Amino acid sequence: MQAARLHEYTDDMSEALSIDEVDRPTATGPSDVIVEVEGAGWCQTDNHIIEGMWTEYVEQDLPMTLGHENAGIVAEVGEDVTTVSEGDPVICHPVQTCGTCRPCRLGEDMYCENSQFNGLTTDGGFAEFLHTSDRAVIPLPEGVDPTDIAPHADAGITAYHAAKKAVHELNPGDTAVVIGVGGLGHIGLQCLRAMSAADIVAVDLKQSARDLASDLGADETIDPETEDVASVVEEFSGGVGSQQTLDFVGRDQTTALAPDITAAGGDHHIIGYGGHIHEPAQGLVFGEFSFRGTLVGQYTELQELVALVDRGDVTLHTERHELGDVNTVAERLEHGEIDGRAVITPP
């Protein structure tokens, strides 16, 4: 089968992955599930993997097939699999978990002590077939297209996970700020709108992204190049500030906004990454606000997100590309030229 594989780390996205012929995976284990990939979302994390940014955090054996946002049709199952059958449309949680370690027993999938992460630590879905497990697949409701929903496997669940944490701290009339209305941010904004009665402010450099934010229910939009974000948030919130900020950019410029826009006792959620946090400890103490990280989400949260999608509360803005176009997609994403999510469709 064909697969888009990373052979060496590079900052040059134009030739990052090569299309190789590799063996098709088979269900050799009792809980194995082989999925014929219908769609695999391209994520900014794929660019970061190509750059080698993840080598300090996880072990990676190259060459490796990338792609962690996967959905498709079940092609083969192991002898003990009862949750899905051949021919079922599924979306795949990116993490394959053991189910027996303490974090798994507590329902904390992302902390599994024996996990495998498709496209990060083991072969992913930029290929014709994907090897995963019965603990990672979620059957799709009738009428949901696996190609369209694929980016929810990571972008969607990550945005939902952050929004769900934020919603617990939001009361009607509170202000929430969404920074970056791109591939993740436009999902997170919809989740906030669907699950809370907060007033939402969206911040983005691109007019098209701000227009999209308004269409999706943002109450106010800010252009950080021409407007002072802190001043607008202060005026909009009546001087209170942002009770919950979802930062889908995660660069130095956006994390630096936290002391100036966060309400007392509020949170600045880091979802996008690549930058740093440079704040004096006294600043956090004086404002009593917190920076909170976000790493994908739980299996059950992906189920909840699929329910929101099925109800029409969350929609994806996607564009489709063939497997051979992976490097073009990587370049365009690097230059901020993709609105919403790009989905790779294997042959």
Which residues on neighbouring strands pair with residue 230, listed in sequence order? none
**What's the confidence (pLDDT) of residue 317?**
84
pLDDT (mean) for 88-108: 96
Residue 7's contacts (CB-CB under 8 Å, 6 or more residues apart) are 18, 62, 63
pLDDT in tens, 49-86: 999 999 999 999 999 999 999 999 999 999 999 999 99
Length of the chain: 347
Q: Which CATH architecture has domain 157-293?
A: 3-Layer(aba) Sandwich (3.40)
- Nearest to residue 34, comparing CAs of 83, 72, 80? 72
Structure-derived torsion over alpha carbons of residues 57, 162, 35, 119, reported in degrees to the nearest 10: -20
pLDDT in tens, 176-231: 999 999 889 999 999 999 999 999 999 999 999 999 999 999 999 999 999 999 99
- Nearest to residue 180, comparing CAs of 156, 209, 159? 209
| pTM for the predicted model, two decimal places | 0.92
**What's the confidence (pLDDT) of residue 340?**
80
Provide the token pair at 256.
């630096």
Of the CATH numbers 3.30.70.3340, 3.40.50.2300, 3.90.180.10, 2.60.40.1760, which one belongs to the domain with range 2-154+296-345? Answer: 3.90.180.10
**Domain ranges for the chain:** 2-154+296-345, 157-293
One DSSP character per residue, 77-124 reads: E-TT--S--TT-EEEE-SEE--S-SHHHHTT-GGG-TT-EEBTTTB--
**What's the confidence (pLDDT) of residue 339?**
78
**What's the confidence (pLDDT) of residue 162?**
97
Using alpha carbons only, give the angle 199, 261, 316 rounded to the nearest 5 degrees.
50
Assess contact for 341 and 316: CB atoms under 8 A.
Answer: yes
> Distance between CA 243 and CA 265 in Å, rounded?
7
Whether 2-154+296-345 shares its CATH topology with 157-293 is answered no
Pairing mode of beta strands 64-65, 137-139: unpaired
